[in-house]
Amino acid sequence: MAKKQFKSESKRLLDLMINSIYTHKEIFLRELISNASDAIDKLCFISLTDDKVGLNREDFKINITVDKENRVMKIEDNGIGMDKEDLDKNLGTIASSGSYRFKQENEQADDVDIIGQFGVGFYSAFMVSDKVEVYTKKYGADTGYKWTSSGADGYTIKEADKDSAGTIVTLHIKEDAENENYSEFLEQYRISELVKKYSDYIRYPIIMDMTHSKVKEGTENDEKPEYESVTEPETLNSMIPIWQRPKKDVSDEEYEKFYHDKFMAFDKPAKIITTSVEGVVTYKALLYIPSKTPFDFYTKEYKKGLQLYSSGVLIMENCEELLPEHFRFVKGVVDSQDFSLNISREVLQHDHQLKTVAKTLEKKIKNELTSMLKKDRETYENFFGEFGRGLKYGIVSDYGMHKDALKDLLMFYSSNSENLTTLSEYIDRMPEEQKYIYFATGESVAAISKLPQAEVVLSKGYELLYCTQDIDEFTLQTLAEYNGKQFKSVDSDDLGIESEQTEDNAEENTEALKFVRDTLGDKVSEVIASKKLVSHPVCMTAKGGISFEMEKYFSAVQPEAGMKAQRCLELNMNHSAVKTMVDLIGKDDEKAKKYAEIFYNQALLIAGLPIENPSEYADLVSSIM
Ligand code: ADP
């Protein structure tokens, strides 16, 4: 029979596994048990509604057997099993696995690191075996299959009789070599130790024959009782899921392991939340706030939701209804005996109990984030850097319904310091006479801080929020105010800041302003003497409801709509260049017009808006140089 080749990416990883010098080879057992448990979860779930499965919750188990002489270890489950396609897809390629994608996204991550922290699933079997067989039958299928591979040179699949659904993974354990001990994996005590260490929380019994020496029956009361060696099956794991154990009994390391294992995560969680609620709905939850954005977070592949268990049976891998959109980064598990076991997806969506749980969880998550912000600023700022955008979308979405819940979690850069600030901290620093919370939008903090229209706010000593994300302005518009103070863009025509001298000049220069307005025609809706410019000659501000940031946003996502902000050209009548133009009016109108055009284009450039004709502009500037 022809051997099939592994997909090339898998082959690389397989080579890595086979030749691994990694010292924690023992994790292979955790990986295989975890696969067995997942497979049982699937069939157990089907059995809730399908009598044909013929198994009850208590019938599901994982069996480990060892044959020291022949150096064989078997891990058997009565889970869902695999058919031929599954075998090809699941064991023929590793490209779909989270670890592999992580490797691709993080070129610098070294190989040993991946194996150690995250495991590489099924393939880790090759760290300890020179040959692996998978003997399996899918639930509902007519025939079983046997998949065999001795490593990187490929694998074969052939039909094989198997009575019931499930999978037996047979490992042919490698011979010991110099400095390499594999025989330990054939020792009962060692296997039992590994199960306790890595797989204790698995919710199905992991059973293995254990040999003990025992007092021989009938000799208990003898002066010299006789001993005999007895072999009997024992359950190695406590089966208490990690979220059912008291927090004080679980180490951070165990919580993190679980997070990595269950959620394909690679980071150290920023926060681990445990909660136990008794009330209308009684439930326990274990939640994780990641510290890094998952690689697929902004793709369709990313699934929001929590794992939902009912008394230890996995009901749903991703129950979306348990998390609001703005906390979609949260990972975790909810377990409640109050959910009926045969809930279908449709019913769940309308489940009142589910809504109750979702509501309390949302509150809990918010409180944890608030306390992180207060007590562990660095972690929070890092978290906000990763997921802040999502919180802002949360404010804007659903017509601002969540804004009160989220506004205190927001952070912005500001002119106050290099660090992020919250809105409440901004308010605390406001001088008494300051009327508004000022903000400016732009590409970067550096670009915004140099905006001419920001100058008057900054020169007054008022703090300015720097909005560098496209969502920022929408966020502030949705909020409208914070603690009674309205938000004010530096682009708006009235900043609420008095600037005496320009007021009078405005009168004097009416004629000059009209001249510029006539020169520019439809390009601007207004030309005014600026009240906010201090040292710069010009700036462009937006009149009416549409800002330049919105114009840029819509020209990117909906160019056909042609949405444009009304341009208001502001001139600093005290600036020498502007004065030169004013002097030219009536004496050399052609030249004065050129000035007007140049001011207009400069203002566009500063606002980050495209100029209509760059080469014409360059010619214009050159012509008066
Ligand atoms: P992961 O478990 O991270 O998806 P693995 O390489 O460990 O990656 O396994 C690949 C896939 O093979 C699993 O997702 C599952 O579909 C299938 N599989 C592995 N072991 C079993 C098993 N014992 N029973 C049924 N399916 C299995």
Which of ligand 1's atoms lies nearest the C-alpha of 81? 25
Q: Which CATH class, in words, describes the domain spanning 502-624?
A: mainly alpha
432: its two tokens: 């008494």
**Is ligand 1 within 6 A of the CB of residue 13?**
no
Architecture of domain 10-235: 2-Layer Sandwich (3.30)
Give the angle subtended at the CA of 557 by the CAs of 554 and 563, to the nearest 5°. 25
Query: Highest mean pLDDT: which of 104-118, 331-345, 484-498?
Result: 484-498
| Nearest to 71, CA basis, from 186, 208, 178 | 186
| Nearest to 416, CA basis, from 405, 404, 406, 431 | 431
Over residues 494-538, the pLDDT tens digits come to 788 866 444 555 566 888 999 999 999 999 999 998 888 888 899
| Nearest to 7, CA basis, from 154, 130, 169 | 154
For residues 449 and 308, give the distance between their C-alpha atoms in angstroms, rounded to a whole number: 48
**Is ligand 1 within 6 A of the CB of residue 35?**
yes
What are 208's strand-pairing partners?
A: 64, 234
* Mean pLDDT estimate for the chain: 87
Question: Where in the sequence of the chain do the CATH 3.40.50.11260 domains occur?
Answer: 411-490
| Nearest to 536, CA basis, from 463, 449, 611 | 449
pLDDT at 95: 37
> What's the pLDDT band for 5 if we cut at 50, 70, 90?
confident
> What's the pLDDT band for 270 if we cut at 50, 70, 90?
very high
Pocket test for ligand 1, best of 17, 27, 33, 38 (most atoms within 8 A of CB): 38
CATH number attached to the domain at 242-380: 3.30.230.80
Higher pLDDT, 91 or 139: 139
Which stretches of 278-416 are assigned E, i.e. beta strand?
283-289, 306-310, 313-319, 331-335, 412-414
Over residues 415-451, the pLDDT tens digits come to 998 899 999 999 999 999 999 999 999 888 998 988 8
Question: Where in the sequence of the chain do the CATH 3.30.230.80 domains occur?
Answer: 242-380
**Is ligand 1 within 6 A of the CB of residue 26?**
no
Distances, alpha carbon 107 to alpha carbons 102, 121, 128, 254, in Å:
9, 20, 26, 27
pLDDT at 233: 96
Give the angle subtended at the CA of 265 by the CAs of 363 and 471, to the nearest 5°. 55
Question: Where in the sequence of the chain do the CATH 3.30.565.10 domains occur?
Answer: 10-235
Q: What percent of the chain has pLDDT over 90?
A: 56
Residue 22 has pLDDT above 70, yes or no: no
pLDDT at 552: 82
Question: Where in the sequence of the chain do the CATH 1.20.120.790 domains occur?
Answer: 502-624
Q: What's the fold here for domain 411-490?
A: Rossmann fold (3.40.50)
In angstroms, what is the span from residue 122 Cα to ligand 1's centroid?
6
